[in-house]
Structure 1
Amino acid sequence: MVTLSNTGVYLIDGHKIIPEDDARELTIPSDNTSKSTSAKETARKGTMAYRILQQHNTADNMDRLKIKFDAMTSHDITYVGIVQTARASGLEKFPIPYVLTNCHNSLCAVGGTINEDDHMFGLSAAKKYGGIYVPAHQAVIHSYMREMMSGCGKMILGSDSHTRYGALGTMAIGEGGPELVKQLLGKTYDINCPEVVAVYLTGKPDPRVGPQDVALAIIGTVFKNGYVKNKVMEFVGDGIKNLNVEYRNGIDVMTTETTCLSSIWATDEKVQEYFAVHGRPNEYKELKPADVAYYDGLITVDLSAVKPMIAMPFHPSNTYTIEELNANLGDILREVERVGAEQLDAPNVQFKLTDKIVNGKLKVDQGIIAGCAGGTYDNLIDAADIIGGHSIGSDEFAMSVYPGSQPIYLELVNNGSIAKFMEAGISVKTAFCGPCFGAGDVPANGALSIRHTTRNFPSREGSKPGNNQIASVALMDARSIAATAVNGGYLTPATDLDVTFTKPVYHFNRTVYQNRVHDSYGKGNDLLDLKFGPNIADWPKMSTLTEDMVLKVVSEIHDPVTTTDELIPSGETSSYRSNPLKLAEFALSRKDPAYVGRAKEVQKAETARLAGGDPVAAFPELAHAVKAFTEVKPIDTINTGIGSVIFAVKPGDGSAREQAASCQKVLGGWANIANEYATKRYRSNLINWGMLPFLIEQGKLPFKNLDYIFVPGIRKAVEEKADNITAYALSEGKLAKFNLTLGQLTDDERNIILSGCLINYYRGE
């Protein structure tokens, strides 16, 4: 089904694979630009990814890229913070098309007026700075970008981790908000040139096997071994022609869950037709690898061998075929319960799935098809064909579908698919991302929801273990969700059904957007005022990096991976994303409820220091640490930064939300210490908020929670690009010397850390 190569490979003429070890006799045209360029390095330039990156690179070499994007996008739990940060840093106008969508806080049902206040802020920002504003319920962020902003050879940056339009020939990257701020200020996205891994598709899938099945098969194979971490996935192979564009989009958007940097696909006449249907024929051009292209790895996917898949709680990589799960139901569910209980770390909550076994079958409580992954036209018409003429019943099982955009919804109305859903008892709702992050269709306590969405992390269905509530999500394809609904909620792969798919032709109605979307790109009016609601707050002032630093460890997390949801919860926090201080109250609330209080106690010392007072008097506990660390170096408490730090083995998997880092900063955090960072975007968020992304060798932890750490000469170490940074831990009354590193930092990243945050750096403070 899915196999991985152990070496790099050469792709010849787009279809012939030669392992690197077998390529000694391969003739590759030399690169005349440099005598020192090897044949392998020449072949690296043959990938689609390399050529697109080259076209967008403003640096004088391809080793350290400085990328400028063609367009950007944000939704309504990120764009307020981004505009506020850019505004504080000197924003004058949006220099490229910037799309502000409203698909996360569009319910406007929690927190009084504050969600709609954010929307009015977004509209006023589009008018003032020259942006594109997509009102609530019109489209989920990625549906709109596919339909209206993608283009072959383009690059798009988004403040949502699932910013992926590779199937449309567009290299898209999801990052934290400060990276978008840099683009708004005319700066660049700075990264080392990424490695590229080929995803070679062969065969043709069973019509009842959908894109989520293929995506989960890939994720289950590559996530845990980090095969594509921070790399570009380049889709090639003869199997592409057997997939329509919506199918490709459905696979592509899920590449985020592999932890890759971005994705790109070879394009063909089907992509050309997609752009023509959407009224943008000029956005098409053929993309394909050069006659000889080198890839740093190879994922081979036999589409004909893929079976209906399920990702069990609590990660998209926890995958099984539905056939395998049904055949080993008790054993697998008990193992999922065991691992899930460890991950939840909530002693008062019993996570149980074996009680869902009814008459030897798994009975689920809810089905959802929604968002950028599930709410595509192709998924919904196939689901409607399965469900048409049936009923989901009047018992506990419930189901909802969310078309990804109003144009999709309109076409489903016109061809009768909506009627099929409604007659079956299914709720049809507007474009909304809530089911993906826990803000819509929250099931009952103890329930299991099957969803064609992007993630199934803990509480992604809206439960709150801290309040003794627990439910869980398993990810599945729309077709098998529909099959399960037809079968009364008993888990059923679509391949168990005999169904004929009608595949009605899609007609895109552009007037839906023409009549509602506000487009001021290039026509901003700087005389207009922004509209501020009472919950929209400015960022607090942040200090520059001090020469020395005393840190208290206020949280210690030893889970193999820590998600951004665990660092700052999704769902219930959404209404406060525009208020840094209020939002910070939720930091680590699901993982370590004591964190906020501990961090605030330490912050008292730093607040006193910055005001010119005595930090020890403000936080007396600090006295014994200062006394101990004077054995290393005399400590001037007025000129030594005092703050908190967390340790996590591998933090930052999942969402691009910058608040996972900024909330720590707002609470006085100076650093994270980790064995590695799960994603580039989380590490970038730390840096952009002036936090040190320390690394420590695995298994060599000289401190524990509530211990103190002293990092003398930290400012000098950052300035001088030190490879190793000496630190001292005060643990159980004894000092222990140990080493930290910062990994590779660009000059701009170092200057941001030295300045204390991105705002300070660009404001010249």
Structure 2
Amino acid sequence: MKLYENGAYLLNGKEVIIDGPEAQAAVKSKTGMDIDKQTAKQETIAYGILKEHNTSGNMDKLQIKFDKLTSHDITFVGIIQTARASGLEKFPIPYVLTNCHNSLCAVGGTINEDDHMFGLTCAKKYGGIYVPPHQAVIHQFAREMLAGGGKMILGSDSHTRYGALGTMAVGEGGPELVKQLLEQTYDIDMPEVVGIYLTGEPIKGVGPQDVALAIIGEVFGNGFVKNKVMEFVGPGVSNLSVDFRIGVDVMTTETTCLSSIWRTDDQVKEFFEIHGRAEDHKELNPGEVAYYDRFIEIDLSQIRPMIAMPFHPSNTYTIDELNANLMDILDDCEKRAEVSFDGKVKLDLKSKVRDGKLYVDQGIIAGCAGGGFENICDAADILNGHSIGADEFTLSVYPASTPIYMELVKNGAVAKLLETGAIVKTAFCGPCFGAGDTPANNAFSIRHSTRNFPNREGSKVQNGQISSVALMDARSIAATAANKGFLTSAADIDVNFTKPKYFFDKTIYENRVFDSHGVADPSVEIQFGPNIKDWPAMSALPENMLLKVVSEIHDPVTTTDELIPSGETSSYRSNPLGLAEFALSRKDPEYVGRAKEIQKAQKAIESGECAGKAVPEVAEIMGVVKKKFPEASHENMGFGSTIFAVKPGDGSAREQAASCQKVLGGWANIANEYATKRYRSNLINWGMLPFIIDEGELPFHNLDYIFLPGIKKEIEDAKTEFEAYVVKDGELKPFTLKMGELTDDEREIILKGCLINYNRK
């Protein structure tokens, strides 16, 4: 794999000219065209799709309107509740509500099924589509029924990626979907486009997760594709089945790219024909001379079976490399865990080594990444005639949709799997976010799923429970299962892959999916459950602000799972205050109490009382502030909390990572950088200030107070640097905070206090 920061020209989709002093002359020599770089940038597939969906008239400042929206049952209640508070009357574009995260309805009494009934009645009332639990995971339904060539889809799940089908899809926090429901736009600067040039074809035993992990391992740490569009081109694309491309594409989220798109061909056309939607295919190719801002060359034949060790998809090795350096790599993982968990629990992976081989406790093939037809058929071929054994090792397989499950039953793959001792279950995302198949304490799980962050396997560090996940491809998981739990590369297995043809039968969808066909029925009463609560009132941005630092996190990256845990807490995602009780609970258990304590000061002034009486230390702090800023008073001051994290927001798109802080009185985040665009957008949409501070020793620490004079006026004036003061030892000590550019709408959202206030009628 070769990475080129300077970019490259691609001629007729085949010939690469790396950018440099002689590049344009070389292009002219080969094509006879005297084309400049800016013109060639407009010849990428991504540029063409973005242009068709941009409403601003300015391709530098995009205002995108999407063709379709999709959400699952962890996010759609909050999205619709937010839109309802802003006057929603009907869904203006197709909006699919899937139920694949809280499907089990096993936690919290009736509340999960109450969310589902809320979704069904909202689909009827506002004119949407409702997919019942166990029918399909969100992204597989989108592939089968929504995606189309040249289209754009916005989803409230970070793995919203349908580029292999010619659809530019973006995963964002819920407020961005609210904007689309209110017929507003998705506003971004024109992203850079990174060419991913594929050649060769994978060797036997290598699957899509292997290719994906190889890419993630190369580009995550250096931010090579961060907030950019990955465009897959080159002759190697046609050497991959569409199922294979989909498996690579969905994992591009883990690179922190904004979106992805692939050139399409007859295989993609056949995919749409199989699914009864031939009219949705569109052939997509870059122009005769296309320029990419950055470029990656990948020889697929050089990829080997991969494993991403705990606790990140970028912690990658080949399986051969791991087996050859077993104790050293396991020791490194244990040391990383000790840092990540602050020494609270001990991860003991080295005890998994038996006779020089790594023993695995569990295998999972599931969800939008692993549950595809081809993955499961290949796994069944590898396991055919074998047994997973009667020891600790277990294997669970989740087809990504009921149509896939039905075809696997018809072609015998399910029977092959069941007779080995594997369990085949219904479409469910639980193993991907910690709500299903939790291993035993200190167990090691290998999964063809999307993420292996801490707690994504369901363990609870705060309770002394720790297990861990490594990501692998379905083929190597099956090879390990055939070897009764000893880690094995699929490239080492002698197998005949039968590659059965896929036949899609949408009868189950016709029988069970509610489709309004875009017709709203205002007479329908929304069905609420006791746990479904409205958003609490949120204040506008004050003239001045006093923030207490209530958590200080120095991990290199802080995931949204650490900001608001996944798993069983997802049952409370329809209850803003109830869910907020879990904020940072697995990273900083003191956070909620500290945030609530300073929030008392804000609540006091909102009710006409004295902030200093509600929180006595505030009176002392205000006394120091008034020495330099005598005009500062309770009447023009806002009181709240902030956190510092080095690089927060990697991972899930869930808006609750920000909204939970907001409902607890959070006014800001301070970071060296934000891991993803979507987390920063979530902060803004919930009226929180996304501050940046230069790397180095912090001028403040946990429990310190920070004073921001004139913050409202500075936001109104579009300032990007702010003088702030640490209130310490009876003095105000100045330092500088920064903020990236905000759009006019983003500034107004922050000034109003949140997107709900901005849109409230």
Shorter-chain TM-score category? over 0.9
Q: Is 1:480 matched with 2:476?
A: yes
Of 626, 631, 636 in structure 1, the residue corresponding to residue 627 of structure 2 is: 631
Task: Select which of 674, 681, 687 maps to 1:684.
Answer: 681
Separation in 1, partners of 2:744, 2:708: 21
Correspondence 1:214-225 to 2 at 5 A: 214-225=211-222
Residue 573 of structure 2 is matched in structure 1 by 577
Instruction: Name the amino acid aligned to 1:653.
Output: D
Task: Determine if contact 1:645/1:670 at 8 Å carries over to the other structure.
Answer: yes
How far apart are the structure 2 equivalents of 1:684 and 1:523? 31
Cα shift at 1:730: 1.6
| Contact kept? 1:612, 1:638, Cα under 8 Å | no
Partner in structure 2 of residue 204 of structure 1: 201
Query: 1:412: which partner in 2?
Result: 408
1:185-584 pair list within 5 angstroms: 185-345=182-342, 347-584=343-580
| Contact kept? 1:250, 1:373, Cα under 8 Å | yes
Deviations 1:552-586 (A, max 9, x none): 00000011100000000000211000000000000
Residues 113 and 28 of structure 1, relative CA distance in 2, 3 Å threshold? farther
Superposed displacement of residue 614, structure 1: 0.6
- For residue 312 of structure 2, what is the amino acid of its counterpart? H
Note the aligned Cα RMSD (angstroms): 1.1
* Residue aligning to 1:108: 105
How many aligned residue pairs are there?
Answer: 755
Paired residues of 1:123 and 1:133 also in contact (CA < 8 A): yes
Letter in structure 1 aligned against 2:2: T
Q: CA deviation at 1:700?
A: 4.6
CA contact (8 A) 1:364 1:491 kept: yes
* Residue 146 of structure 2: aligned partner: 149
C-alpha displacement of 1:8 = 1.1
CA distance in 2, matches of 1:723, 1:667: 26
Amino acid at match of 2:526: L
Which residue number corresponds to residue 762 of structure 1? 759
Q: Which runs of 5+ in 2 are unaligned?
A: none
1:32 is matched with none
Superposed CA deviations along residues 32-79 of structure 1, whole A, max 9, x for unmatched, are: xxxxx9811100000000000000000011000000000010000000
Match of 1:23 in 2: 23
What is the deviation of 1:748? 0.3
Whichever residue aligns with residue 227 of structure 1, its letter is: F
Q: Counterpart in 2 of 1:170?
A: 167
CA change 1:322–1:548 in 2 (3 A) is same
Distance in 1, matches of 2:430 and 2:27, equals: 53
Rounded Cα–Cα distance in structure 2 between residues aligned with 1:511 and 1:359: 51
Residues 1:161 and 2:158 aligned together: yes
CA contact (8 A) 2:17 2:27 kept: no
- For 1:494 and 1:602, how far apart are their aligned partners in 2? 55
SS across alignment from 1:24: helix
Secondary structure of 1:274 counterpart: helix
Read off the aligned partner of 2:542 and give its amino acid letter: T
Q: What amino acid is the match of 1:16?
A: E
- Bigger Cα displacement from structure 2, 53-62 vs 697-706: 697-706
**Given residue 6 of structure 1, which amino acid in structure 2 is its aligned partner?**
E
1:738: which partner in 2? 735
Q: Which amino acid aligns with 1:207?
A: K
1:631 partner SS: helix
Letter in 2 for 1:391: S
Task: Give how far 1:512 is off.
Answer: 1.3
Separation (CA, whole Å) in 1 of partners of 2:493 and 2:103: 36
1:6 is displaced (CA, Å) by 3.1
Report deviation, 1:623: 1.4
Per-residue deviation, 1:734: 3.5
2:744 matches 1:747: yes
The 8 Å contact of residues 40 and 289 in structure 2, kept in 1 or not, is answered as yes
Query: How far, CA to CA, are the matches of 2:58 and 2:405 in structure 1?
Result: 46
1:218-241 CA deviation, whole Å, 9 max, x = no partner? Answer: 000000000000000000011011
CA contact (8 A) 2:5 2:293 kept: no
| Deviation string, structure 1 residues 259-279 (Cα, Å, up to 9, x no partner) | 000000000000000000000
Deviation track 1:407-434 (CA, whole Å, cap 9, x = no partner) reads: 0000000000000011001011000000
Describe the superposition over 1:312-362 as per-residue Cα deviations: whole angstroms up to 9, x where unpaired: 0000000000000000000111011101211122x3311111011110010
Q: Is the Cα–Cα contact under 8 Å of residues 5 and 297 in structure 1 kept in the other structure?
A: yes
- Partner deviation per Cα, 1:517-550 (whole Å, 9 max, x = no partner): 0001321101211100000000000010011000
Cα distance in structure 2, aligned partners of 1:528 and 1:410: 34
3-state DSSP of counterpart to 2:726: strand
Q: Does 1:48 align with 2:45?
A: yes
Return the alpha-carbon distance in structure 2 between the equivalents of residues 638 and 529 of structure 1.
42
CA drift of 1:24 comes to 3.2
Q: Does structure 2 retain, via aligned residues, the 8 Å contact 1:71–1:98? A: yes
Q: Tell me if 1:134 matches 2:131.
A: yes
Please give the secondary structure, in 1, of the residue aligned with 2:567.
coil
- The Cα offsets for residues 154-178 of structure 1, whole Å up to 9 and x where unpaired, read as 0000000000000000000000000
Q: 1:188-208 CA distances to partner (integer Å, 9 max, x unpaired)? A: 000000000000111010131
Shift of 1:453: 0.1
**CA shift at 1:27, angstroms?**
5.1
- Counterpart of 2:10 in structure 1 is 11
The question of whether the paired residues in 1 share the 8 Å contact of 2:9 and 2:289 is answered with yes
SS of the counterpart of 1:150? coil
CA contact (8 A) 2:402 2:427 kept: yes
Structure 2 partner of 1:34: none
- Give the one of 578, 597, 600 matched to 1:601: 597
Separation in 1, partners of 2:627, 2:696: 26
The answer (yes or no) to whether the contact 2:649–2:674 under 8 Å persists in 1 is yes
Q: Does 1:96 align with 2:64?
A: no
- SS of 2:73's partner is coil
Contact 1:28/1:43, CA 8 A, preserved across alignment: no
Distance 1:453 1:11, change over 3 A: same
What is the distance in 1 between the residues matched to 2:616 and 2:577?
25
The one-letter code matched in structure 1 to 2:225 is: V
Amino acid at match of 1:42: T
SS at match of 1:552: strand
Q: Distance in 2 between matches of 1:225 and 1:647?
A: 22
Which stretch of the first structure deviates more once superposed, 727-736 or 593-602?
727-736
Q: Identity across aligned pairs (percent)?
A: 68
Pairing of 1:667-706 with structure 2 (within 5 A): 667-706=664-703
TM-fit CA distance, 1:26: 4.3
Q: Tell me the SS of whatever aligns to 2:695.
A: coil
CA distance in 2, matches of 1:723, 1:337: 41
**How many angstroms does 1:731 deviate by?**
3.1
Residues 75 and 103 of structure 1 are in contact (CA less than 8 Å); yes or no, is this contact kept in structure 2? yes
What SS does the aligned partner of 2:428 have?
Answer: coil
